[in-house]
Structure 1
Amino acid sequence: MLSLAKWNAYYRLTRLDKPIGIWLLMWPTLWGLLIAGLGKPDLHVMLVFVLGTVLMRSAGCALNDIADRHWDGAVARTRLRPLATGEISVKEAYLVAMGLALLAFMLVCTLGWQVVAWSVPALFLAVSYPYTKRFLAIPQAYLGVAFGFGIPMTFVALQGQVPALAWWLLLANVSWSVAYDTAYAMVDRADDLKVGIRS
């Protein structure tokens, strides 16, 4: 049986203690649901996307910490993360991420093959984002695509197509993400320059 300390470590690994990240991922998805659903999206579709957003954001946080485990200890804001402190092993973090992603996939499977097909690039974006800081000068733009990919998926789920409006919404989300994530990244600027991460 897991101890309370271990549950707390998993809670922090998945950033459920910091729900603003859930909202930053949820808002674009809700925009897509409301617009694609003409103000009245199907309740089942909405529940799948809301729960899927929470699950995939939590899985993404675990994957991000796996990717950054060698640097997080050197950055003031992240030095107490469970992987950086050794409270959770890399294997445990992978199991958490895979378990959460599998649950999200099971939910998506209830929406039909087209949405399942669109979930593949969405998963790729989520898994690859943490590594973009190694080679992209503006990983915030990649984050914007990853965080906004629920927009075209909602249109597929509710309309069976991805109209131009969905892509404009995604572009707007990329611009918004670059703005807020750049401001957020400035907190770590001095430490990131020392360790060579381009965030």
Structure 2
Amino acid sequence: MSGTDDPQVDHYFTARPASAEQRRTLRVRLAGRDVEVETAGGVFSPDHVDLGTQVLLRTVPAPPSRGDLLDLGCGWGPVALTQALLSPDARVWAVDVNERALDLVRRNATRLGLGNVVATTPDAVPDDVRFDALWSNPPVRIGKPALRALLTHWLPRVATGGEAWLVVGRNLGADPLQRWLTDEAGLPTTREASAKGFRVLRYAP
């Protein structure tokens, strides 16, 4: 089932977990380790760790060793799994609206022996949880209004002393987004890196 007529964003709204026949194994490198994960069609970048996520993971500092960490728009889980591998004593929230993606994250966390990953829909995250780190390759193709609403909901939930790190394609509006977050949304955001057509943005309350 799709929530849009645009095939580029259909993967954000896939409702059903992938069947055994639809799932496939992928070897990737996460947190300095070669690991096997499961992916499937109907999620973002099912055949590899996409370039934007690679840029993000090469740029961000190590996550806090404890506390609550967030991967916003987790897909099959490269960011959340990296956070969980690096910080086994932290609780990692892998959040997505795509039930297929969430099922894959749960499978991958089990496969890697990671008991600290909570893969869930946005509405299921308790309102009182504050995040010591938020890492995201946000779903920019959902459109500007929806993306702005997403970020203005989640960025204020970063705890004082915590950090949010976003990777956004330059040609997909990274610079206007940074200006809007800083000048209009009251969420001052800095550009920390630029590589391979992507900007890495940082918000620290």
Between Structure 1 and Structure 2, the one with more strand by share is 2
Between Structure 1 and Structure 2, the one with more helix by share is 1
Tell whether the structures are fold-level matches, with TM greater than 0.5: no
When the two structures are superposed, what TM-score results if normalisation uses the length of structure 2?
Answer: 0.30
